[in-house]
Structure 1
Amino acid sequence: MKKDSQSNISHSRSRNLYLDVAKGIAIILVVFGHNIQYGSFECNNEDFFENPLFIAIYSFHMPLFMLISGYLFCHSIKSYSWSQNVKSRFTKLVLPIIIWNSIYLFIMDAHKNIWEGSDIPLGSQLVSYLGAIWFLWAIFWCSMASLVVHRYFNDNIIAYVSLGLFALLLPGVLGISLYVYMYPYFVIGYLFNKYGLTNKIASLGNKIRVILSLLLFGAFVGLYMSYTKEDYIYISGTGIIKNLKQLEPELDLHQLSIDIFRYAIGLIGAICALIIIRVTYKHIGKNTSMLLGKIG
């Protein structure tokens, strides 16, 4: 019994390291993508949107991060109470946003006053608060949504889907599009852990897993070849109901097709990345794994 317990602990630590490595790689991809965007002459004319490497990174790197975040949040829901989880999410996500953004805005305001003799408009400050470190806001709101469905709807999948569909109806303003985009990946990661799908997939034969992996990689390549500038969340946003301002709501099928495509390539790309990381992370050296784990 003691050996089995130690084996389970060792397996858990190995799995956690694997996920930390995956998060570390996702963070590095974020930095690399921003380097392509801001570190080249392409930034001024937005040609970076057509950069093949930029497309590859931005098609899946944030979905990957949110899948892992949702997967790990399942452990928190199992281990802590409602109030403890709300407090933890607030202190670990919202407080850092408020503190760091306040420091940033104070420095920027001081710079404007001293060097330019002007103030930062209140509207710009609000946009900074809502937009800066947006992925932390996304994790927070996705966590809150999952907590509500877990507590009041007993993790009913229909409730999760209904909430996601309702979010798609919302106009893409004040960063809402980014949260709507991230929500399904967080929920999928959470449910993947809740229902133990990792172990079920591991129980499949090697041949079946290889075939499924090849199909996923083929699907990702096909979707990648079809990716256009319009498919970026930053370009097309979300919100499948148009003409709301004119009080003539109409379903925007074109926007819906973009959303479906974006969700598909994000999910498939994230799964492909996890497969590659799972296969290779034990062979990249202990020190490298530990470093990537600390980054994650």
Structure 2
Amino acid sequence: MGASSTATSRVPVWDNARFVAITFVVVGHGIQRFTYDSDAGLVAYLFIYAFHMPLFAIISGYFSKSGPPTARQMRRVITDILVPYVIFESIWTLLHYVVEGRVSVNPTTPSWTLWFLLALGIFRLILPYLALLRWPLLWAVIASIGVGYFSNVDSTFSLSRAIGILPFFVLGWKLREWHLVERWRVAEAPAVLVRMGALAVLAIWAAVLWAFIDVWRATDLRFWFFYDDSYDGLGEDQWWAGAVRLSLLALAVLLSACVFVLVPRRQLFFTPLGQATMYVYLLHSFVLYPIRESGIIGDEITGWPWLLVMTVISIGISFALASPWVRWAARPLVEPRPRWLLHREIDTTTGPMRLGPSRTDPTGSRRG
């Protein structure tokens, strides 16, 4: 999955982890309607949202480079992030007009899931500068906590969210720099006791959510997991609000580690699908949008059986969107190659630059 990997030397655990992470993303979005009237739905939602995007950001950071970007890498920011963002933001604008009769052309405010695409672009731009500093992870944490005190830093170009989850991306990058896999043999199957400990932590988190569900609903805990609003916007303008975010950062790292421990290490039937996470991420919202907005999930559909059904449907959506035929059909949208847009130049390190199919997606995953 890394930039130095090849199709024959891929470590299955990373593709498995990527597909597990993106499936949690789809499930979290799929069950969102159940959070209003169902305690079980809110528990499941909070359980997932505590770690699903942090886990995705950690994995993305693990396979990112911190050196000065080459001309080829800068072109990839344009072709793999900016152009797809413009394409999908335009589609969303048209969709809102057709379905809702609403005309809102504002490319500075990402539609639904597109915020993470811009966040990845921001991460790529600032990582080389963070890498020049001592204690980059500490500075990322300080930035994440500090940005919550500024109400004027909002969702414009995903800036508030990008800064909010920046520590997870930097943590992933540092884990690779620390050679964690080589030192602790993380890619190999962990001991049974370690897996049992991970399951216990996840079970305790679920139990805490269920035991205090009225508190979490009253305090709107789910909005804290978005890393989007300022503390004042979340209704907590006290000086110690940053400590809450720090606690949530630590919780997300712990839960992400537990999930990673439980990810299978061997090649499985869904392992190749881990190379298509960007397809799933960008396309799944178009599948869920009509389900969420059509009223199919109404007030009367609130029980846990319906929650389970929607969870299974969401998992199926993740599998379907990662399939080869969907990737073939959607490649012009997800992996556009705008040769007309880019000036042909020479990269002094690699020679003439050819704009062929990208071997890496915006998260740094090596495509097979």
TM-score by length of 1: 0.70
CA 26–238 in structure 1, closer or farther in 2 if over 3 Å, else same:
same
Residues 37 and 48, structure 1, Cα contact 8 Å, conserved in 2: no
The 8 Å contact of residues 101 and 128 in structure 1, kept in 2 or not, is answered as no
| Residue 260 (structure 1) aligned to one of 220, 226, 246 | 246
CA contact (8 A) 1:70 1:187 kept: yes
Say which of 46, 50, 55 aligns to 1:59. 50
State the TM-score, normalizing by the size of structure 2: 0.58
Q: 4+ residue runs of structure 1 moved beyond 6 angstroms?
A: 8-12
Distance 1:81 1:221, change over 3 A: same
1:177-256 matches, cutoff 5 A? 177-202=160-185, 217-227=199-209, 228-229=216-217, 230-232=220-222, 233=224, 237-240=228-231, 242=232, 252-253=239-240, 255-256=241-242
Task: Name the SS for the 1:101 alignment partner.
Answer: helix
Post-superposition Cα deviations, 1:67-111, rounded to whole Å, max 9, x if no partner, equal 10000113xx46x735443332332122211111113313433x2
Sequence identity percentage: 17
Q: Which has the higher helix share?
A: 1
In structure 1, runs of 5+ residues without a counterpart are: 1-7, 244-249
Alpha-carbon distance in structure 1 between the residues aligned to 2:69 and 2:57: 22
**Which of 115, 127, 149 is residue 169 of structure 1 equivalent to?**
149
Aligned counterparts, 1:62-211, within 5 A: 62-74=53-65, 77=66, 81-109=69-97, 111=98, 120-122=103-105, 125-126=106-107, 129=110, 131-150=112-131, 152-153=132-133, 156-171=136-151, 173-174=154-155, 175-202=158-185
- Deviation, 1:267, is 0.9
How far apart in 1 are the matches of 2:238 and 2:251?
A: 23
- Alpha-carbon distance, 1:177 to partner: 4.0
Confirm or deny: 8 A CA contact 1:36 1:54 kept in the other structure.
yes
Task: Check conservation: 1:60, 1:267, Cα contact below 8 A.
Answer: yes
CA root-mean-square deviation: 3.7
In the alignment of these two chains, the number of paired residues is 259
Q: Is 1:13–2:3 an aligned residue pair?
A: no
3-state SS of 1:170 partner: coil
Cα displacement (A) at 1:166: 3.9
| SS in structure 2 at match of 1:73 | coil
Encode CA deviations 1:258-281: one digit per residue, 9 max, x unaligned.
31232122111111111111xx24
Q: C-alpha separation between the residues in 2 aligned to 1:166 and 1:257?
A: 10
Distance 1:128 1:47, change over 3 A: farther
Provide structure 2 residue ranges, at least 5 long, that are not aligned to the other structure.
Answer: 210-215, 279-368
Mean Cα displacement is larger for which, 19-28 or 52-61? 52-61
Q: Residue 50 of structure 2: SS of its match in structure 1? A: helix
Distance, in Å, in 2 between the alignment partners of 1:31 and 1:100 is 17
